[in-house]
Amino acid sequence: MPRNLMTQQQKYLSIFSPSTAQQRQENFENYWHFSRELSGDLLEHEQDLTKKRDKLLSFQSQPVVLNQPFQQPDAFYRNYVNLVDDANSLDRKTLLLTCIYKFARHEWVGITGAWAATPAIENCKQLTDKISRYHLAEEFSHTRLFNEMFCTFGLTEAKWQPLGPVAQKVYEFFPKIPETLMSPFAFVTELMGIMFYRHLDAILDEVFADEPAACARVRELLNEITIDELAHIGQRRNYLGAVGLKVSLWITPLLFRLFFHDIPEIKHFFNVDRMIEEALVFDYSEIPQELLEKSWAPSYCIAAA
């Protein structure tokens, strides 16, 4: 089955568009072919994929040289796990990098718990189980790309740290609940991801204006993540029937506010209410063509010609 490549010449429908069970089954099969072509073979023990690994190695083989050394490494390391300084005392590069870390940290904690709760690829009997395993490996590749952002600025000592005990337990419990209950929440977390990445991309040139080469590298890394996230939104949407869609619409504002409340830097860069508004009407239309061409969307979110 051919890849589902998107272009801006196509017309898009809302990610909340209705679908039939048959359409969703066909889209799972289509997505499975797309995912393997995009990411390569699964490296189970490394929690990685061959094409994702090669892409990261390509970035690492061509390091960026900064115009000047990063000015506040001590401030970054002091605040990247928990914001302990007055945010207004930090320069915007440092503050944005701590913001990115905190967002990615949630992703790392969530996928670590989910990986432990899902079967290894050789034990996957259902197509959706295989898709989930690939999806998690792609998410692990995102944490490596995020880490490469920090390394771009010479911040090589950043480590992924667990969350507090309550949040940690929630993330460990979440993948164990039945799929019908979990799916709306999983779908909304993917929406949060793409909204964060879009709004992050919009401020990179301003925040990193004095380091254009580093800014370009961060955008390259972010684009690699965004291509996956665009496809993940559609993939997670594909689990939802009519009831799941209604639940997703209802919980979107609540989950966005709960999640971003845990990242104090957010309010210094982004408007969460605007993110929510954009999430509720998301339809791929404003995504750059070069990203759309590499990603995937459910067929029922692409208007007939």
By the 8 A CB rule, do 150 and 70 touch?
Answer: no
| Per-residue confidence band for 175, with pLDDT thresholds at 50, 70 and 90 | confident
Instruction: Note whether residue 156 is domain-resident.
Output: yes
pLDDT value of position 2: 41
Instruction: Note whether residue 191 is domain-resident.
Output: yes
Mean predicted lDDT score pLDDT of the chain: 93
pLDDT value of position 304: 76
Q: Using a pLDDT cut of 70, give the percent of the chain over it.
A: 97
pLDDT value of position 63: 95
Provide the phi-psi class of 40: left if phi over 0, else alpha when psi is between -120 and 50, else beta: left
Q: Using a pLDDT cut of 90, give the percent of the chain over it.
A: 86
Instruction: Note whether residue 25 is domain-resident.
Output: yes
pLDDT value of position 140: 97
DSSP-based three-state secondary structure for 48: strand
| Per-residue confidence band for 6, with pLDDT thresholds at 50, 70 and 90 | low
Query: Chain-centre distance of CA 36, in angstroms?
Result: 18
pLDDT value of position 275: 97
Instruction: Note whether residue 61 is domain-resident.
Output: no
Range of the domain at 124: 21-56+71-301
The pLDDT of residue 58 is above 60: yes
Instruction: Note whether residue 234 is domain-resident.
Output: yes
Instruction: Note whether residue 9 is domain-resident.
Output: no
Q: What average pLDDT does the segment 103-128 reach? A: 93
Any idea what the CATH number is for the domain that residue 238 is in? Answer: 1.10.620
Instruction: Note whether residue 16 is domain-resident.
Output: no
By the 8 A CB rule, do 110 and 170 touch?
Answer: no
pLDDT value of position 1: 36
pLDDT value of position 176: 77
Tokens representing residue 252 in the block: 């979107």
Count of the separate structural domains present in the chain: 1
- Condensed to tens digits (0 to 9), the pLDDT of residues 221-251 reads 999 999 999 999 999 999 999 999 999 999 9
Scanning the chain, the segments in alpha helix (DSSP H) are: 21-39, 50-60, 73-79, 92-117, 127-152, 165-173, 179-207, 212-237, 242-261, 272-280, 289-292
Which residues lie closer than 8 Å to 251 by C-beta, 6 or more apart?
184, 185, 188
Q: What average pLDDT does the segment 169-188 reach? A: 84
Cα–Cα dist 244/235, whole Å: 14
